[in-house]
Amino acid sequence: MPRVTVYSTASCPICVKAKNLLNKWDIDYSEVAIDTGDSGLKEFRDATQGARTVPQILIDGKLIGGFSDLTELHMDGDLDELMKQDCET
């Protein structure tokens, strides 16, 4: 099961960029579309403490933020460390 969850909408170009980066970095993720039904929107609100923008990205249930936060984690080398953490335990 993917450890990364991406909350997105179909019309969000930044969501597409975030998913493309995850694919480029070979990081599996599950996507929850918040614009296709109430269940996705409710899950989004609960998981992100009421965030209002997409994409919102969680790793192991922990909110890391959006596209800018994802790229910053990667540039700082922290994303690799996050992805390694539970694989080693």
In tens, the pLDDT along 66-79 reads 999 999 999 999 99
Could you give the CA distance from residue 31 to residue 77 in angstroms, rounded to a whole number? 24
For residue 55, cis peptide bond before it (omega within 30 degrees of 0): yes
pTM (two decimals): 0.90
Domains of the chain: residue spans and CATH? 4-88 (3.40.30.10)
pLDDT at position 44: 96
Quick one: angle between helices 13-24 and 67-76, nearest 10?
30
The Cβ-side half-sphere exposure at 53, using a 13 Å CA radius, reads 7
User: Can you say whether the dihedral through the CA atoms of 29, 35, 37, 43 is positive or negative?
Assistant: positive
